Structure 1
């Protein structure tokens, strides 16, 4: 086993926020399960990550019942479930140690959010020497307001603002930033079709 699928923050916390109605990939659970099934079939490790914000009192607070995988995602016995407090999946967990001890050198990245925890994890993983595949259509994100936009606007107002960065723009920017530098970009179909039965990372 030299490959691992990292599933980042596909958790109920996000569904408690108003902007979930504008999520880029409503099928995130289904596509995640496709990748997980392919990884398990190939004997690759699946690592689940959950994000927490201790003391925040919100849906990411570890005392909240929402810090759990979205219904439909179920880790198997032996699949690590790590809890982080940083944007990337390495800094506040033992992920690097876990992967190194198992001889894993190739990572497949999926989860929420495309440009935040997924992209940041990818960049750090590449710097640590891992070979990374970023599965964009197995990630999800949300529109981003301009830095000068009022913080208390409704979702409708956010979406109507021409200065808001759309999810399509976010996804495209992330792919441009990562491709050829930090990761190979791949689709779920490319990684799960029969002809791709080599191994998750290549």
Structure 2
């Protein structure tokens, strides 16, 4: 058990029952020329998340924590992509269209996969999800249950969409969620600020927020025997 400095109050984490969840750190969202940029977004806002998240991931691996990566994307025939999602707005490119990194948000394409800096290693879970939340139409909940997980460190992109949706879903299912404030990102700075404020508002209505440095320090101080990640 370790105590983490957090908002709205400190929280104790039982590391044997805590998972690090890394949401949608995919090339289509983060790389220049990818889907996110074709929508008119500044991908540099998301890339700020990468260095602190690399450090947190290394610390979680060293502590032997359960680690789950998610990827948003669809089957090649788009049978799992509802029209309301496929046809929203008027983007220059849509899901399934050819993009700089293959067909956009299609499973198996280069752009659908996780960026090299955060690539999963053996023993880590990868959940492919067709929606914003990690629980919908996936085995995410089963992975957590099978591993006895009750608390989540939530990271990834984007703060106001897939991070928020997953955190809210987890909260409704009884999980205690700590959203790692410098390890989540939005294309919109105002959404980032408000999104984090909403998590911890009203005494922690959806969970807690904490800085990666405080979590890493607590993991190091726990002196738990862990698994050293391959370089």
Give the structure-1-normalised TM-score.
0.80
Secondary structure of 1:5's counterpart equals strand
Pick the aligned partner of 1:93 from 138, 142, 161.
138
Partner of 1:182: 206
1:125-150 Cα distance to aligned partner (Å, 9 max, x none) = 0110011100121011113xxxxxxx
1:90-125 Cα distance to aligned partner (Å, 9 max, x none) = 112111111111111010000010100001101110
Conservation of the 8 A alpha-carbon contact between 1:114 and 1:136: no
Partner of 1:152: none
Pick the aligned partner of 1:7 from 12, 22, 25.
22
Gaps of 5+ in 1: 144-166
Partner of 1:118: 163
Conservation of the 8 A alpha-carbon contact between 1:126 and 1:182: yes
Q: Partners of 1:190 and 1:115 in 2: how far apart?
A: 23
Secondary structure of 1:24's counterpart equals helix
Q: How does 1:45-60 map to 2 (within 5 A)?
A: 45-54=66-75, 55=78, 56-58=95-97, 59-60=104-105
Would you say 1:74 and 2:119 are equivalent positions?
yes
Q: Partners of 2:205 and 2:221 in 1: how far apart?
A: 25
Conservation of the 8 A alpha-carbon contact between 1:107 and 1:131: yes
Q: Partners of 1:95 and 1:83 in 2: how far apart?
A: 9
Q: Partners of 1:38 and 1:195 in 2: how far apart?
A: 7
Q: Partners of 2:219 and 2:27 in 1: how far apart?
A: 34
Compute the displacement of 1:194 (Å).
5.3
- Structure 1 stretches of 4+ moved >6 Å: none
1:9-58 Cα distance to aligned partner (Å, 9 max, x none) = 00001120324535424232222211111111222111010010443314
Secondary structure of 2:28's counterpart equals helix
Partner of 2:58: 37
Conservation of the 8 A alpha-carbon contact between 2:178 and 2:207: yes
Conservation of the 8 A alpha-carbon contact between 1:52 and 1:67: yes
Secondary structure of 1:189's counterpart equals helix
Pick the aligned partner of 1:140 from 172, 176, 185.
185
Q: How large is the Cα RMSD of the aligned pairs?
A: 1.9
Q: Partners of 1:194 and 1:184 in 2: how far apart?
A: 16
